[in-house]
Structure formats: C-alpha cells, structure tokens
Amino acid sequence: MPSPASIWVASARAVFTKDWRCELRSRYALNAIALFAVTTLVVTSAALGPAGTNKTLAINVLPAMLWLILLFAAAAGLPRAFVHEEESHTAIALRLAAPPSALFVGKLAFGVSLLLGIEALVAPLYLAVMSLEVASPGQLVIALVAGGYGLAVGSVLIAALASQARGRSTLFSVLAFPVLMPLLLIAIELTRNAVAGDPAGVALPQLLLYDGSVTIAGLMLFPAVWNP
C-alpha cells in the first residue's frame, strides 16, 4: 500500500508530464510564448538599437523592457493551462484523478519550467541585441529564476480563477496585472542592481517573500477554486 505522500507526489508528477505531453503535441503555449517574446524583442531592438552602450539607458530602461517582454509572453501562454481543461471538458476527470494541491503543484511546475525555458531563450538574445553588459551575471540569473517563478505562480493561480468566468483571456490580464505588479517592480529593481553591479539589497529577500507568500496562498486557496 503506497503512502498518501507518495500518491500525492505521483499525482503531481503525472499532471506535470501530462501537461508537457499535451504541450509537445499541440505546441500551443510554446509557439505563442516564444513567438510573442521574439516579436516584442525585435520591435524593442529595432526601436532602440544597441541601447546597452548608453549607460543611463542600460540601467534605467532596459531592465524594465526585459520584464515587460516576459510579462506579456507569460500572459500569452500560461492562461491556457486551465482554459484548455475547461474547453476539452477534461476538468471533471482531473478533479477525480488528483487532489487539488497536487494538481496545483503539477500545473505550477509546468508553468515554471515553460517560463524558465523561455527566459533561457530570450534573456541571452536580449543581452546580445541590446549590447547590454551585465556587471554581476550571477545576480541576473537569480533575478530571472526568482522573478520567473513568481510570474509563473501568480499567473497559474489567476488562470485557475479566470478559467471559471466568461471572457477568459481578457479577464486574465485585468486580474493578473495588479497581482503581478509588485513582483515586476521588485524584479526590475533587482535586475537593475545586477546590470549596474550594485549589491542586491532588500530586493532579493522581498522577491523571495513574494514568491513564498503567493505559493502558500495558492496552495491554501486553490482547493476552493477547483472543487465546487
């Protein structure tokens, strides 16, 4: 007889692998996110040129642009996580198959891995086309990982809410923007410090606090969203 903990882990892993398998068959979110990110990247680059050579622009403008690209890329693909369960009427089967917290963790792992993958594609490209020199690259990686996680956890939680309402895709942006705004402000601040070579300061603990509190809120509130 397997223990409840191992059943929980197995369900979360099953949701994660199922989502990736569906994703690799349709490539809906992958294509949407990657193309969206690359298109905005091209537009920004064409408009600004190699802005990284200008120190003031490099510190004041470019970190904010990077996070805006990532925000809209996330908003283009992540809401799909729950909307397609409602559209293909598989939500009921999922309710039977997995406990809500395991489902949330599985969906979250999918969203985080998708977003971190996109960041691994977009961030080096962005640095290259903008000629942006980063003074402390390690800190930039920390900002991207912690910020990307926060972006994913906020988006997945809001996607679960929005999938229950009419006008899901418009509603997602309206609901997600205020939730993700503090995360973006803190992540931009941390990226700015990384580019300028300043110490991370309080921005890093604040970012981790955001990640932790939204994850805990998600685990507590998701069962109420998912189960009628």
Partner 1 sequence: MTRTISLGLRFGLWLVMAGCIWGAFFYAWSDPAFIGQSSRILFFHVPMAWTSFVAYFAAAVWSARYLWGGRRMRHDRAAAAAVECGVLFGVLATITGSLWARIEWGAYWNWDPRQTSIVVVLLFYGAYLALRSAMADREIRARISSVYALIALVVTPFFYFIVPRITESLHPEPVINAERKLDVDPRMFQVLIASALTYTVLFFWMHNLRARSQALVDATLDDPS
Binding positions for partner 1, rule: CB under 8 A? 157-158, 161, 164-167, 171, 174-175, 177-179, 181-182, 185-186, 189, 202-203, 206, 210, 213-214, 217, 221, 224-225, 228
Nearest residue (CB) to partner 1, 130 versus 160 = 160
Q: Nearest approach, Cβ of 161 to partner 1 (angstroms)?
A: 5
Nearest residue (CB) to partner 1, 36 versus 210 = 210
For residue 221, give both structure tokens.
């509130």
Nearest residue (CB) to partner 1, 124 versus 223 = 223
Specify whether the backbone of 201 is left (phi greater than 0), alpha (psi in -120 to 50) or beta.
left
Nearest residue (CB) to partner 1, 52 versus 111 = 111
Assign 3-class secondary structure to the chain. Answer: CCCHHHHHHHHHHHHHHHHHHHHHHHCHHHHHHHHHHHHHHHHHHHHHCCHHHCHHHHHHCHHHHHHHHHHHHHHHHCCHHHHHHHHCCCHHHHHHHCCHHHHHHHHHHHHHHHHHHHHHHHHHHHHHHCCCCCCCHHHHHHHHHHHHHHHHHHHHHHHHHHCCCCCHHHHHHHHHHHHHHHHHHHHHHHHHHHHHCCCCCCHHHHHHHHHHHHHHHHHHHHHHHHCC
Q: Nearest approach, Cβ of 82 to partner 1 (angstroms)?
A: 12
* Amino acid making up residue 83: V
| Burial grade of 164 (CB within 10 A; 0-12, 13-18, 19 or more) | middle
Nearest residue (CB) to partner 1, 119 versus 189 = 189
Q: Nearest approach, Cβ of 104 to partner 1 (angstroms)?
A: 12
Nearest residue (CB) to partner 1, 90 versus 164 = 164
Q: Nearest approach, Cβ of 170 to partner 1 (angstroms)?
A: 9
Q: Nearest approach, Cβ of 87 to partner 1 (angstroms)?
A: 17
Q: Nearest approach, Cβ of 67 to partner 1 (angstroms)?
A: 14
Q: Nearest approach, Cβ of 192 to partner 1 (angstroms)?
A: 10
Nearest residue (CB) to partner 1, 138 versus 178 = 178
